[in-house]
Amino acid sequence: MDLLSSYPSWLITHGAALLIILPLLVGAITSVLPRERLAWIVTLIVTLICVVTSLGVLLDVYFNDAQLYKMGGWDPPHGISYIIDGLNTPLIFLICAMALLCTIYGLPSVAAEVEPKKRAPFYAAFLIGVAGLLGMVVTGDAFNVFVFLEVSSISTYVLVAMGASRDRRALKAAYNYLILGSIGATFFVIGLGFLYMETGTLNMADIGNILRDLDGGSRVSLVAFGFIVVGLGLKLAMFPLHMWLPGAYAHAPSFVTVFLASTATKAALYLLLRFIFMVFDPSFEYVITVVTYVLTALGCIAMLFGSLQAIFQTDARRTLAFSSIAQVGYMLLGVGMATGLGLAAGYLHLLNHAVIKAALFFALGAFWYRYGITRIDDFAGLGKMMPWTMGAFTLGGLSLIGVPFTAGFTSKLNLVEAALQRGWAWAAIVIVVASILAIIYIGRMLMAAYFQSPPEIDGEVVAKNEAPLMMLIPMWLLALLSIAIGVNADLVVEAAQGAADVLIGGGV
């Protein structure tokens, strides 16, 4: 409470809007800045302000109550309003914090991977992408979601394509992402059109109330639900719709991969949660059917399929990308249970996975930065060549597997508990099997790094060359955080519980 009272009251009232407007406006200015270093400093300051603001908003929602921010001062059904509640504030803070860490990491990383002239616009696109994601998460207006979905998507396509100066395949990956992402956005907007046809309004809470009055509405809202789930499913890489993800993660610049992996799919998953539970309602027969059978089944398939695919990859980032698809499966399983415990566990895994995956991708970026390594075969001896980076990678890897006293363990344990409470013992088995598969693909990398000797070039063993401090700091911060969550998860569990309460409580 003390910390909260030190915030100026204006920042708390308008904080949610500032979080989006500031990066958007500064992003526009950054695009014409003449010097890359200046652009970086500006980005750093903006993301820092965003972190501070989002913390204030988070505390305010925690101690006081959910907020409604009316854009343009118009009341909800007519104007666009923001809803800031226990469901989205943790995610807002997560996105801001990741943006800040990525920016710190970006100073060396972007300098190595992006053409000098393009670095200022690159940071501009990044800021706009951050703002787009935040805008999607914070808004309470269904069409506004679409607008900011486009803002974040377009800048992300470009950011992924910027990997082309490292690997030409980035262009193809970005193109795939562009096409599939556009199809997803189109499906989503078709769904919104149907919803508007049924209810005549675009405000999420309003749609929710009208649909509840209609007891789920007619076939129009059923079809709307289908289109929205498929559209968001594409964005969050739900199992059969995940085709864009491995390529995009593998070929984007390291900086972008980290940010994408830790926030983009999470924001889409959050939207799915909000649409399923607060715009529609699990009490409608078609919603609960889709959630219980389709989402759960797809989640379980994704867990097994993603982990299996991850084992057979040669490229380290592709391995982790398939692992991300599997982790989305865990979260969907939690959603599929549609119980308070399950939702809390899914949300917890969402937060934890963002921390873990970001640490892992940070480390992979550092491997490339020093040695140009992308393939697992080249990991040989990395434990000796980059001990600190590899250390962070190991912590993250263990956490991904779910070794006790790591963040991954906490969320998987919660998921298993929720599954058992729901009476789904088979789901618990799937979780265990997927975790065993994770041991294999993470183990492969760790074995190569620690049990093989460093390669020799011209008869000399490759010298130790640790990553720069700017890369190590964010990496270790997240690695230690994942351990800290594993030791004492109270704060994060409480946040996840709060989110689940908002979802189950229904209504905004």
Q: Can residue 80 be called a binding residue for other proteins (CB under 8 A)?
A: yes
Phi, psi of 375 (to 5 degrees): -95, 150
Q: Which residue lies nearer to other proteins by CB, 161 or 493?
A: 161
Nearest approach, Cβ of residue 455 and other proteins (Å)? 6
Q: Is residue 35 close enough to count as binding other proteins by CB under 8 A?
A: no
CB of 495 to other proteins, least distance (A): 27
Token digits of residue 186: 């189109």
In the complex, minimum distance from the CB of residue 204 to other proteins, in angstroms, rounded to a whole number: 13
275 binds other proteins (CB under 8 A): no
Site for other proteins in 130-159 (CB under 8 A): 131-132, 135, 141, 143-144, 147-148, 150-151, 154-155, 157-158
CA distance linking residue 159 with residue 389, whole number of Å: 25
Least distance from C-beta 218 to other proteins, angstroms? 4
Collapsed DSSP state (helix, strand, coil) of residue 84: strand
Give the nearer residue to other proteins in terms of CB position, either 206 or 344: 206
* Beta-bridge partner residues of 67: 84
CA 343 to CA 501: how far, in whole Å?
9
Residue 1: count of CB within 10 angstroms of its CB: 8
Return the structure tokens found at 28. Answer: 């526009």
Please, which of residues 187-226 interact with other proteins by CB under 8 A?
A: 187, 190, 194, 196-202, 210, 218-220, 222-224, 226
Q: In this structure, are residues 365 and 258 in contact, taking their beta carbons and an 8 Å threshold?
A: yes
Q: Are 237 and 174 in contact (CB under 8 A)?
A: no
Instruction: Select the residue interacting with other proteins from 50, 92, 104, 128 (CB under 8 A).
Output: 128
Total number of residues binding other proteins (CB under 8 A)? 96
User: Applying CB under 8 A, does 461 fall inside the site for other proteins?
Assistant: no
Residue 307, token pair as written in the block: 């982990």
SS3 319: helix
Q: Which is nearer to other proteins, 166 or 349 (CB)?
A: 166
Which residues lie below 8 Å from residue 467, measured CB to CB, with a gap of 6+? 366, 369, 370, 386, 388, 389, 475
Helices 490-505/89-113 angle, 10° precision? 120
Q: Which of residues 474-493 bind other proteins (CB under 8 A)?
A: none
Which residues from 347-406 bind other proteins, rule CB under 8 A?
A: 368-375, 377-378
Determine the interface stretch with other proteins among 36-44, 56-64, 71-79, 263-271 (rule: CB under 8 A).
71-79
Q: Which is nearer to other proteins, 374 or 435 (CB)?
A: 374
Residue 352 in contact with residue 485, Cβ under 8 Å? Answer: yes
Q: Does 118 engage in binding with other proteins (CB under 8 A)?
A: yes
Residue closer to other proteins, measured from CB, 20 or 59? 20
Q: CA 476, 306, 182: angle at the middle one, nearest 5?
A: 90
Which residue lies nearer to other proteins by CB, 16 or 502? Answer: 16
- From the list 50, 57, 87, 125, which residue makes contact with other proteins (rule: CB under 8 A)? 125
Please say which residue, 241 or 348, places its beta carbon nearer to other proteins: 241
Closer to other proteins at the Cβ: 374 or 411? 374
Nearer to other proteins, 210 or 303 (CB): 210
Write out the DSSP string of 139-195: B-BHHHHHHHHHHHHHHHHHHHHGGGGT-THHHHHHHHHHHHHHHHHHHHHHHHHHH
Nearest one of 268, 257, 406 to 320, comparing CA atoms = 257
List binders of other proteins among 2-31 (CB under 8 A).
14, 17, 21, 24-25, 28-29, 31
